Structure 1
Amino acid sequence: MSFQPDFAWGAATSAYQIEGAAALDGRKPSVWDRFCRQPGRVFEGHTGDVACDHYHRFREDIGLMKEIGLKAYRFSLSWSRVLPDGTGAINEKGLAFYDQLVDGLLEAGIDPWVTFFHWDYPLALQTRGGWLNDESSKWFAEYVQVVTDRLSDRVSHWMTLNEPQCFIGLGHRSGEHAPGDRMEMPHVLRGVHNALLAHGRAVQVIRASANIAPKIGWAPTGDVAVPLTRSEADVNAARDAYWSIEDGSVWNQAWWSDPVIKGAYPQNGLEAYGEAVPPHTDAEMAIISQPLDFYGMNLYNGHLVKAGADGKPEHVMRDPGVPTSHFQWRVTPEALYWGPKWVHERYGLPIAITENGLANQDWVAIDGAVHDPQRIDYVSRYVRELRRAASEGVSVLGYFHWTLMDNFEWAEGYRFRFGLVHVDFTTQQRTLKDSAYWYRDVIHSNGANIPD
C-alpha cells in the first residue's frame, strides 16, 4: 500500500537552526542569540551565528532538496530578520531573502510550507515582556501581516506556531531554552494564553489577506501514549492518558489544542491548574479557535500505558536496553499510528506529520560516504505505522522528515545530527547520507517500497 497520490513528502528546518547570518543585512537578535551567549546554557558555547550558512547557500541547498526528490519543504522565518524590532520598520533585505527562497523552491518543483514562529522570538520584544505581555498577540499579527502580504501570492501552506509546549515549557517554566525563565504556573499559563491568541490572530490575518487560497495549520508536539496491548481496556487507558493534564506542567495536548479546535479550555485542565488559569473571555476564545485546514504533529517517541485494576491509566516501564536515539529518546514507531489516530478521532482534521526523525552519530566514512542505517530503519518503522493509520481512515496529508540537514540543535548545540544531509560545520561541505538516497526511493514509490 502507498499513500494518496498528492502526499507531501518533505523535510523540515527552522530559521535559527540553519540560516546563520545572525547579524547581517539588518537582522537583529532574537532570544536565542542572547541565550547562546550566557555561559553554560548551550553545549560548549555553540551558537547559531553561522549554523549551516543557509542564508548564503540556499540555492545549493535547494539543489540538494531537488536531488533527494522532495515534494515539499517546511521552513520557518526569522521574525527579527523581517521586523528587526519585532514591530514597526520592515527589513527589506530580510523579506527579499525569503522571496528568493520561495521562488527557488517553486522553480525546483518544491512546495513551500511556511512556519511563522519556530522559537526565535525578537529580543526587542522580549525586553517588553515577550509572551507575557498582553500585546504580544498583536505584535505577532503585525508580523504575519507583513509576510502574508509579501509571500501569499506563491505560498499556500502556512503554520503559525511550532511546538508551543517547548517554547513556553522549556523557555518559561524549566528555563532550559531561551529566554531561560523559570516562572510559576500563573505566569506560564498567561504566556500560553497569549501564544494561543497569537495563533488565532495569525489565522485571521492569513484568511483575510492571502492572495491564493490558504491551507492553515499549526505544529504542536508531545509524547504519544501507546497502549501496551490492543485490548479495549488498554486502548481506552492510553487515550485517557494522552488527553490528561498534570498540575505544574504544560506538557500535554488538550490544554493547547482544545481551545484552538473546540474554543474552550478542557475541564480536566481547569481542575488541574485551578487558580493558576488566567482570566479569559469568550471573545478571546473565539479568536483562538479560528477554523484550521490541517493539524501538524511533531512526533518522535511515546510511552507505554496499560489499564490498571481500576481501569485508569498506568505507565509501563520500558524493557532495559530498548533502542534509543542519540538524544536518548526511545524508539517508538507506534507513536505515528496512535498519535494521529487520537488527534483525528478528537478533532476530525487532516494530519500532517510536520517533524519526525532520528538523532544519530553520523560522520563521513573513509569511503567519503555517510552511512546511517539506523536512520533508514527508524524512518521505515515510523512511516509504516503512519501508513497503517492512513489505511484505517486517518486523513494524512504528508510527512516531513526532521531534518533536511544537520544543524544547530538548540541547547545541545551541534552534537546531535538529525539530517538527511551531513554538514561539516567548519567547511560547510554538504554530503548526502545513505538515508537521503533511500528517502528519494521512498518518495519515488510514494512509500510503497517500505515493507508492511
Structure 2
Amino acid sequence: MPVTRKDFPKDFLFGAATAAYQIEGHSFGGAGSTHWDTYAATPGNVIRAEDGAIACDHYHRYEEDLDFLKDGGFDTYRFSTSWARVLPEGRGQVNEAGLDYYDRLVDAMLARDLKPNQTLYHWEMPSALADLGGWEHPDVADWFADYVEVITKRIGDRVSKIATINEPWCVSVLGHFIGRHAPGKVDVRSAARAVHHVLKAHGRGMTRLREMGQKDLGIVVNYEAVKPGSDDPRDVAAANRQHAIMNQLFMHPLFKGEYTADAMEGYGPHLPKGWQDDMAEISQPMDWHGVNYYMLNRFAHDDTIPWPSLKQVEGPLPKTQMGWEIYPDGLSWLLTWLKDEYVGDLPMFITENGMAWPEADTGSNFGDTERWKYIQDHLAAVRQSMIDGANIEGFYYWSLLDNYEWAFGYEKRFGLIHVDFDSLKRTPKHSYYALTEWLRATD
C-alpha cells in the first residue's frame, strides 16, 4: 500500500529543491560569467548550445514560484546561492545587487513560513577562477571560504540549514574525468585534484562557517544503486569497483579521513602533494547529511579501457526521460547502508529525488501520473529505511520547476511545475496537485 503523510513524523520536513544557475537567469542582476556559460558556448557540449542566461527568470518571478510551495503545503525550500552572482570575478568586488536579491529571496521564504535550506555551491564556478584552474587550483578552498563568508554575513542569520557543496562527484569526476559537465575535461590528473580540492573546500568552508557561529551544516552527496551486468565474476567485481569509486569516493574521506583503496588505485598517483594533511579538516563533524538519489546503474568489466576498466550496460527496468533505470528499493538500501557504514544516527535528508518525464498537455494541466507514482514509490522506500533504523528527517523533490538541465539544455523536464520557456508561464502538473493533496491529508 502507498504510504501517507501520517506514516511520517509530524516534524518530518517536505520540500522541493532548485539550483541558482538552473532557474534564476544568470544574465540578470550583475552576475558574472561562469564556466557553464563557456561550456555551453562550446559546440557539442549542450543541446542546442542552450545556457542559463534566462532559465526560468526566477530572479524576477521568485514570489510566484514560492507561492507554489506555500499553497502546496510544503515546509521548506532547498535553494542555492550563486558564487558568480555574489562575487562576479570569484574574488574581490562584491555584487551588492546579488546580495540584495538573496536578501529578498530568503525574506520571501520566511514570509511564507518556508524553512530556507541553502546550498553554497551548485556548479557555477566563476569564469575568472576557472581561468586560473578552478577546482584544480591549490588555493580554491580559500577562495570558496571567502565567498562563503560574504554570503553568510548577509543571509546566514535567517537560513535554517547550509550545505557546502552539491554533488561533489559531478563537480569533480563528471566534469574533469568523464567530461560531460563543465569544464568538460577528460583527464585523470585533473579529476584527482578536483576530487581532493572539492573536499578541501568543503572542509575549509565548514571551518569558516563554524568560526562565524553557524549551525546545521552539512554536504549533499549523490549516490546510485549499483548492480553487475551479469553473474560473471568480472562483472560483479566491476560493480563493486563502481560502488567504491562512486558511492564511497567522498564518504570515506568525509567520515573516515581516508580514501578507499579503489579510489587510490586510480586517483592516488595524481593527488596533490601533502593531501593527507587536509584530511582532519575534511572529516570534521557535520550536523546532517544530504542524500541525492535517482536511479540504478549496471556495470560490466571492460579490459579494453584503462582504470576503472568498466562500462555501463542497459537494464530491463522502466526508465525515466533521462534513460535512468527506476529502482526505489535502491533508496531504502542506500539509506540503511549509509547508516551502518558511515553516518550512524546523524540526521539525513533526501535532498534530491525525482524524475524527468515528457508529460502530456491535458488542456487543464500537464498529466504526469508516472511522476506521481515515482514519488510515492520512493517515499515508501524512505519510510522503509526509517523502520529499519535510519534517521531521516526530510524529503525534497527535484525539482520545483522545469529548468535548465545542464548538458541537456531545456529538453528534460523534472518539475512539479511546467515552465513554457518561451513565455515563462508556469502551470502546475498533475504531480503537483497529487503531492499537495497528499501533504494535506494529515487527519
Q: Same fold (TM over 0.5)?
A: yes
What are the residue-to-residue correspondences of 1:58-73 with 2, within 5 Å? 58-73=62-77
Aligned residue for 1:288? Answer: 282
Q: Secondary structure, in 3 states, of the residue corresponding to 1:105?
A: helix
Q: CA deviation at 1:131?
A: 0.7
For 2:441 and 2:211, locate their aligned partners in 1 and report how far apart those are by CA, in whole Å.
38
Deviations 1:132-167 (A, max 9, x none): 110000000000011111111111201111111112
Aligned residue pairs total 421
Amino acid across the alignment from 1:299: Y
Say whether the 8 Å CA contact 1:360–1:416 is kept in structure 2.
yes
Partner of 1:351: 348
Residues 35 and 179, structure 1, Cα contact 8 Å, conserved in 2: yes
Mark the CA change 1:3 to 1:226 in structure 2 (over 3 Å): closer, same or farther.
farther
Letter in 2 for 1:416: K
Q: Which residue of 2 aligns with 1:404?
A: 400
1:326 aligned onto 2:321: yes
- Measured after TM superposition, the shift of residue 319 of structure 1 is 5.8
| Matching residue of 1:148 | 152
Q: Distance in 1 between matches of 2:170 and 2:274?
A: 22
Name which of 430, 433, 441 aligns with 1:434: 430
Does the residue aligned with 2:285 lie in a helix, a strand or coil? coil
**Residue 8 of structure 1, aligned match among 5, 10, 13:** 13
- The match for 2:206 is 203
C-alpha spacing 1:227/1:438, structure 2 compared with 1 (3 Å): farther
> Is the contact made by 2:173 and 2:195 (CA closer than 8 Å) also made in structure 1?
no
Q: Which residue of 1 aligns with 2:85?
A: 81
Q: Which residue of the partner structure matches residue 219 of structure 2?
A: 218
Q: Quickly say closer, same or farther: Cα 1:315–1:283, change in 2 above 3 A.
A: closer
- Root-mean-square deviation (CA, aligned residues, Å) is 2.5
Cα deviation code 1:397-437 (max 9, x no counterpart):
11110000100100111111100000011111101111111
Structure 2 residue aligned with 1:340: 335
Q: Pick the aligned partner of 2:252 from 249, 258, 266.
A: 258
Kept after mapping to 2: 8 A contact 1:226/1:238: no
Secondary structure in 2 matching 1:295: strand
Query: Amino acid of the residue matched to residue 204 of structure 2?
Result: R
Moved over 4 A (4+): 236-243, 314-319
Q: SS where residue 225 of structure 1 aligns?
A: strand
Q: Are residues 316 and 160 of structure 1, via their aligned partners in 2, closer, same or farther at CA, if it must alter by over 3 Å?
A: closer
* Alignment check: 8 A CA contact 2:224 2:247 kept: no
* Contact 2:328–2:381, Cα closer than 8 Å, also in 1: yes
Residue of structure 2 aligned with 1:44, choices 36, 41, 48: 48
- State whether structure 2 residue 421 is matched by structure 1 residue 417: no
1:443 aligned onto 2:443: no
Q: CA 1:358/1:224 → structure 2, altered by over 3 Å: closer, same or farther?
A: same
How many percent identity over aligned positions?
A: 39
Partner Cα distance (2:118, 2:154) in 1: 13
- For 1:24 and 1:304, locate their aligned partners in 2 and report how far apart those are by CA, in whole Å: 41
Distance across 2 between alignment mates of 1:139 and 1:375: 39
Q: 1:274 deviation in Å?
A: 4.4
Structure 2: which amino acid aligns with 1:19? E
Query: For 1:378-410, what per-residue CA distance to the aligned partner results, in whole angstroms no more than 9, with x for missing partners?
Result: 111111011000111100011110000100100
| Structure 1 residues 420 and 59, CA gap change in structure 2 (3 angstroms) | same
TM-score (norm 2): 0.89
Q: What TM-score do the two structures reach when normalised by structure 1?
A: 0.88
DSSP-derived class of the 2:361 partner:
coil
User: Aligned residue for 2:272?
Assistant: 278
**Counterpart for residue 166 of structure 2:** 162
Aligned partners of 1:293, 1:240: CA distance in 2, in Å? 29
* Amino acid in structure 1 at the alignment position of 2:339: H
Provide closer, same or farther for how the CA distance between residues 97 and 136 of structure 1 changes in structure 2, counting only shifts above 3 A: same
- Aligned residue runs from structure 1 range 46-125, under 5 A: 46-125=50-129
Q: Assess, with a 3 A threshold, how the Cα gap between structure 1 residues 96 and 113 changes in structure 2: closer, same or farther.
A: same
Deviation at 1:46, TM superposition (A): 1.5
* One-letter identity of the residue aligned with 2:223: G
Query: How far, CA to CA, are the matches of 1:262 and 1:319 in structure 2?
Result: 33
Q: Match for residue 307 of structure 2?
A: none
Deviation per CA, 1:56-100, whole angstroms, max 9, x where unpaired? 000111111111111111011111110111011111110110110
Deviation per CA, 1:190-222: give whole Å up to 9, x if none.
Answer: 111111100001111111114xx5211111113
Unaligned runs of 5+ in 1: 229-235, 246-251, 306-313
Letter in 2 for 1:410: W
SS at match of 1:299: strand
The one-character-per-residue Cα deviations of 1:213-252 (angstroms, maximum 9, x if unpaired) are 5211111113123699xxxxxxx9999667523xxxxxx1
Distance 1:172 1:328 in 2: 23
- 2: distance between equivalents of 1:350 and 1:242? 26
